[in-house]
Amino acid sequence: MSNHPDRNRPHRPHVGELVRDHRSGRDGVYMDTQGGQHYLRPQGGGREWTAQPEHVGPVPTEEPQGEPGGGDTRSSWRFGRRRATSERSPAA
């Protein structure tokens, strides 16, 4: 049992809030609660899934709230790809 007081009560998300489903390890946008289940949807869109309220909590602030590795990795990859394409020498 944890001594941390916030861990003893479920997080009550607001519609549109990015939350973590600790059971599956996925982050999703909170949509609604019906029949005792939280309905979550992937941040970029996609199929909803349900999670028990006790398994849902805020996304930790020390981690990026997007794709794994954060946005810098993705933009660096795109930049590197563009640069690699522009550095090709024409066939002689």
In-domain check, residue 42? yes
Range of the domain at 22: 5-62
Mean pLDDT of 61-65: 62
Q: How many domains does the chain have?
A: 1
In-domain check, residue 32? yes
Q: Domain holding 36: CATH number?
A: 2.30.30.140
In-domain check, residue 75? no
- Rounded to 5°, angle at Cα 64 from 63 and 65: 115
In-domain check, residue 10? yes
In-domain check, residue 22? yes
pTM: 0.58
- pLDDT at residue number 61: 84
In-domain check, residue 35? yes
pLDDT band at 83 (very low <50, low <70, confident <90, very high): very low
Least Cα distance to 21 among 62, 50, 64 occurs for 50
